[in-house]
């Protein structure tokens, strides 16, 4: 999951995009980028690093204009080279820049098609460059020099026909407007909002509503599955569902871990969904382990805190902040490479001994994925003097790879893959391990919006809703994107190794 943002404003937009990206930083820590548009030219700055490192004052000065898009990246395809930071740019037709959150499942076929049929060259291994070129090719077919909404919708229809997988994207088309769209299943989130100014209405799209809040935009609504929203540079908004067979099937892992709790996704408050996850987990513990001897509930910050709080309440126990988080260390799960992830857990979390000493503690996390966090945290709890260390996960066992925009490509790297709960319990070293049931998790989210009939729960079930993911695909993905393969293909630490084809006045 990456974070995307786009604004068609009435005032300079660079600081707004920057601020929105810092609010979306939890969705991607590897690279950041921005494109603005002013007087017929695009200005781009993108590089590896956090938002605050990528944009220096000298870059901000040059990112002129009242419209712009931005991206924070967490790679799920290609490598972590800065050449694959986003937005991507293509000069024909008109000049288009695009930022993408998600993952195309038919990227390999599309790349071939683009070369053989559309005569377009893809210069990186990023699927986002492919998405941009498919969109550009389809827009090229419009004969008009000044495409109108219907031309853009037609290009959108073709993009939906060709591109499979999970995607939420925003694009700037020079001289035309801003376009944003969400895949036919609405797997990845995308919202649209507006803000009134003395010069008229400004529109903004973003991965999460929290970015709108931070900038004082009002949420209009979520972009619907398969919908394309087009805001022209006069400030008029047009929208149409352009995909066939749409059905909202949002990624449930956004609610578990990815999104910020203060976001609304598809009308579900992430915060409330997490509270309900805690409530359901407490009910399960009462049902199946009524005579438990837990003394205290301890969350593993940050994400699990909301559900741990409600879990403790449900069990009539105290919750104590036994682990303190170093606020200057980012999220460990989305760090590249297992070595870095492993090392970071101890740097990130420190135990307050008195909350553990001679107590039976229930540690609560939102999810256990590779087991990097849980394994070390159980050790830390014991070192801090806990008598018994129990562990609860607000999500069911994560057993299958994700192919829609979360970098979990390799089944064998998932601690619960092919394992029973008892086996995982042993691996992480807990005295008891309790997982949320999938039905309860679904219920916890669905209670926020009964209209959502189905969720993408593939990481728990191995069922891929787009219907195009088979074992051969997963085997190929595993080969290309296991930790070892990634570290060799993405090891472009030396900036001189990266040759940007175009980054005007690159500094
Ligand atoms: O089993 P693992 O592979 O360790 O992955 C799961 C852990 O990673 C995430 O935390 P992270 O540190 O990324 O972010 P947070 O501060 O938002 O909890 C998540 O909240 C779990 O704690
Ligand atoms: N996490 C994402 O959404 C990744 C977007 C895109 N597939 C990339 O790797 O850059
Ligand atoms: Mg965590």
Residue 277, pLDDT above cutoff 60: yes
Whether residue 491 is predicted with pLDDT greater than 60 in this model: the reply is: no
List, as own/partner pairs, every contact residues 91-96 make where C-beta atoms lie below 8 angstroms and the sequence separation is at least 24, other chains included: 92/136, 92/140, 93/136, 93/139, 93/140, 93/142, 94/139, 94/173, 94/174, 94/175, 94/176, 95/42, 95/173, 95/174, 95/175, 96/132, 96/135, 96/136, 96/139, 96/171, 96/172, 96/173, 96/174
Q: What's the gap in Å between 481 CA and the centre of ligand 2?
A: 13
At residue 247, does pLDDT exceed 50?
A: yes
Q: Which of 128, 134, 169, 207 to mutate to test the pocket of ligand 2 (most atoms within 8 A of CB)?
A: 128
> What does pTM read for this prediction?
0.95
CA of 289 to the centre of ligand 2 (A): 41
- Ligand 1 centroid – CA 474 distance (Å): 24
Q: Report the 10 Å Cβ neighbour count for 247.
A: 12
Minimum-distance ligand 1 atom for the alpha carbon of 335? 13
Task: Tell me, using a 6 A CB cutoff, whether residue 77 lines ligand 2.
Answer: yes
Question: What's the distance, Cα to Cα, between the start and end of the chain in Å?
Answer: 28
pLDDT at 353 over 80: yes
- Same domain? 28 vs 117: yes
Q: Is the CB of 332 under 6 A from ligand 1?
A: yes
Residue 474 lies in a domain: no
**Whether residue 402 has its Cβ less than 6 Å from ligand 2:** no
Interval between CA 15 and ligand 1 midpoint (Å): 30
Pair 28, 89 in one domain = yes
Q: Does the residue 258 lie in any domain?
A: no
Confidence (pLDDT) at 366: 98
Ligand sitting nearest the alpha carbon of 368: 1
Ligand lying closest to the C-alpha of residue 329: 1
Q: Binning pLDDT at 50, 70 and 90, where does residue 489 land?
A: low
Structural contact between residues 486 and 337, judged by C-beta atoms closer than 8 angstroms = yes
> Which residues are annotated binding-site positions for Mg(2+)?
303, 365-366
Task: Please identify, among 449, 477, 501, the residue that sits at the C-terminal boundary of a domain.
Answer: 449
What is the position in ligand 2's atom list of the atom closest to the CA of 407? Answer: 1
SS3 call for 54: helix
pLDDT value at position 337? Answer: 80
Does a structural domain hold residue 468?
no
Average pLDDT of span 116-142: 96
From the CA of 27, give the closest atom in ligand 2. 1
Q: How far is the CA of 62 from the centre of ligand 2 (A)?
A: 26
* Same domain for 65 and 205: yes
pLDDT at 409: 83
Q: What is residue 485's predicted lDDT score, i.e. its pLDDT?
A: 75
What's the gap in Å between 299 CA and the centre of ligand 3?
Answer: 9
Residues 199 and 159 in one domain: yes
115 & 210 share domain: yes
Q: Is the shortest distance between the CB of 333 and ligand 1 below 6 Å? A: yes
* Res 361 pLDDT > 80: yes
**19 and 63 both lie in a single domain:** yes
Asked which of 195-204, 340-349, 469-478 is least confident by mean pLDDT, the reply is 340-349
Which residue's CA is the closest to the ligand 1 atom numbered 3? 370
Q: 300: CA distance to ligand 3 center in Å?
A: 6
- The answer to whether the complex's ipTM is over 0.85 is yes
Closest CA relative to residue 202, chosen from 104, 75, 314, 67: 67
Cα 71 to the chain's mean position, in Å?
Answer: 11
Give the chain's mean pLDDT: 94
- Decide which of 492 and 292 is more confident: 292
Residue 18: CATH number of its domain:
3.60.20.10
* Residue 345 pLDDT: 85
Tell me the ligand closest to 189's alpha carbon.
2
Whichever domain contains 368, its CATH number is: 3.40.50.2020
Percentage, residues of the chain above pLDDT 70: 96
Same domain, 226 and 371: no
Given 414, 449, 484, which residue is the final one in a domain? 449
Same domain (yes/no): 308, 197: no
104 pocket-lining for ligand 2 (C-beta < 6 Å) = no
pLDDT of 44 above 60: yes
Looking at residues 69-77, what average pLDDT do you find? Answer: 94
Q: What is the pLDDT of residues 143-164, one digit of tens each?
A: 789 999 999 999 999 999 999 9
| Ramachandran area for residue 405 (φ above 0: left; ψ -120 to 50: alpha; else beta) | left
Q: Is the CB of 76 under 6 A from ligand 2?
A: yes
Q: Is residue 224 part of a domain?
A: yes
Q: Is the pLDDT of residue 476 over 60?
A: yes
Q: 2, 79, 242, 251: which one is catalytic?
A: 2
Please report the atom of ligand 1 found closest to the CA of residue 398. Answer: 1
Residue 113 lies in a domain: yes
Asked if the model's pLDDT at residue 494 lies above 60, the reply is no
Give 315's pLDDT tier (boundaries 50, 70, 90).
Answer: very high
| Ligand 2 atom 10, closest CA | 75
Ligand 2 site, residue 33, Cβ cutoff 6 A = no
Same domain, 240 and 285: no
Task: Say if ligand 1 is within 6 A of residue 226 CB.
Answer: no
Ligand 2 closest atom vs CA 128:
6
Task: State the pLDDT confidence band at 23, using cuts at 50, 70 and 90.
Answer: very high
Residues 288 and 231 grouped into a single domain: no
With contact defined as beta carbons under 8 Å apart, do 419 and 369 qualify?
Answer: no
Query: What would the pLDDT profile of 417-436 be if each residue is shown by its tens digit?
Result: 999 999 999 999 999 999 99
Q: Which pLDDT does position 503 carry in this prediction?
A: 43
Ligand 1 atom closest to Cα of 325? 16
Q: Examine the pLDDT at 357 and tell me if it is beyond 60.
A: yes
pLDDT at 206: 98
The response to whether residue 1 sits with its C-beta less than 6 Å from ligand 1 reads no
User: pLDDT tens, 174-225?
Assistant: 999 999 999 999 999 999 999 999 999 999 999 999 999 999 999 999 999 9
Residue among 257, 363, 378 whose CB has most ligand 1 atoms within 8 A, to mutate: 257
Assigned domain for 411 exists: yes
Q: Is 466 in the pocket of ligand 2 (CB under 6 A)?
A: no
Closest residue CA from atom 8 of ligand 2 = 75
pLDDT at 26 over 80: yes
Q: Ligand 2 centre and the CA of 199: distance in Å?
A: 35
CA-based R_g, the chain, Å: 23
Higher-pLDDT residue of 395 and 79 is: 395
- Give me the mean pLDDT over the 437-451 stretch: 98
pLDDT at position 487 over 90: no
Task: Give 300-312 pLDDT, tens digit per residue.
Answer: 999 999 999 999 9
Active site residue 242: no
Residue 505 predicted with pLDDT over 60: no
Q: Which listed ligand is nearest to 346 at the C-alpha? A: 1
Statement to judge: residues 237 and 284 lie in one domain: no
In this predicted structure, the answer to whether residue 83 has a pLDDT above a threshold of 80 is yes
Give domain status of residue 340, yes or no: no
Structural domain boundaries enclosing 225: 3-247
Number of domains composing the chain: 2
In whole angstroms, give the CA distance from residue 458 to residue 477: 15
Q: Are residues 152 and 56 in the same domain?
A: yes
State the pLDDT at residue 504. Answer: 43
- 65 pocket-lining for ligand 2 (C-beta < 6 Å): no
- Give the span between the Cα atoms of 9 and 235, in whole angstroms: 8
In a domain, 210, yes or no: yes
């Amino acid at each position: 999951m990456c974070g995307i943002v786009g604004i068609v404003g009435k005032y300079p937009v660079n600081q707004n995009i920057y601020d929105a990206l810092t609010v979306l930083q939890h969705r991607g820590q590897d690279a950041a980028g921005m494109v603005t548009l002013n007087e017929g030219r695009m200005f781009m700055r993108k590089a590896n690093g956090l938002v605050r490192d990528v944009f220096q004052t000298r870059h901000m000065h040059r990112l002129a204009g009242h419209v712009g898009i931005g991206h924070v990246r967490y790679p799920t395809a290609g490598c972590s080279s800065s050449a694959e930071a986003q937005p991507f740019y293509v000069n024909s037709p008109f000049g288009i820049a695009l930022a993408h959150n998600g993952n195309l499942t038919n990227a390999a076929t599309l790349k071939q098609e683009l070369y053989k049929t559309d005569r377009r060259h893809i210069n990186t291994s990023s699927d986002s460059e492919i998405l941009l070129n498919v969109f550009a090719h389809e827009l090229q077919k419009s004969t008009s020099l000044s495409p109108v909404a219907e031309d853009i919708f037609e290009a959108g229809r073709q993009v939906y026909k060709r591109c499979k997988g999970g995607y939420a994207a925003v694009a700037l088309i020079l001289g035309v407007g801003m376009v944003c769209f969400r895949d036919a299943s609405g797997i990845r989130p995308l919202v649209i909002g507006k803000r009134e100014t003395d010069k008229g209405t400004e529109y903004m799209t973003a991965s999460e509503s929290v970015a709108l809040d931070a900038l004082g935009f009002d949420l209009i609504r979520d972009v619907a599955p398969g919908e394309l929203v087009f805001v022209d540079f006069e400030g008029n908004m047009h929208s149409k569902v352009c995909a066939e067979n749409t059905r909202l099937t949002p990624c449930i892992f956004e609610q578990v871990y990815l999104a910020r709790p203060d976001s609304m996704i598809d009308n579900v408050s992430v915060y409330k969904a997490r509270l309900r996850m805690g409530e359901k987990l407490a009910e399960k513990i009462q049902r199946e382990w009524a005579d438990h001897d837990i003394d205290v509930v301890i969350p593993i910050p940050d994400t699990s805190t909301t559900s741990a709080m409600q879990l403790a309440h449900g069990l009539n126990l105290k919750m104590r902040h036994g682990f303190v988080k170093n606020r200057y260390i980012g999220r460990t799960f989305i760090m590249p490479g297992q070595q870095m992830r492993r090392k970071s857990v101890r740097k990130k979390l420190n135990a307050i001994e008195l909350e553990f000493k001679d107590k039976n503690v229930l540690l609560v996390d939102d999810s256990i994925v590779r087991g990097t966090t849980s394994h070390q945290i159980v050790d830390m709890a014991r070192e801090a003097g806990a008598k018994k260390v129990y562990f609860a996960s607000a999500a069911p066992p994560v057993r299958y790879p994700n192919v829609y925009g979360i970098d979990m490509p390799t089944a064998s790297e998932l601690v619960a893959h092919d394992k029973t709960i008892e086996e995982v319990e042993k691996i992480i070293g807990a005295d008891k391990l309790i997982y949320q049931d999938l039905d309860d998790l679904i219920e916890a989210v669905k209670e926020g919006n009964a209209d959502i009939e189905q969720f993408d729960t593939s990481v728990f079930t191995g069922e891929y809703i787009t219907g195009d993911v088979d074992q051969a695909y997963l085997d190929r993905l595993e080969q290309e994107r296991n930790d070892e393969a990634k570290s060799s293909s993405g090891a472009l630490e030396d900036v001189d190794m990266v040759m940007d084809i175009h980054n005007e006045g690159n500094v």
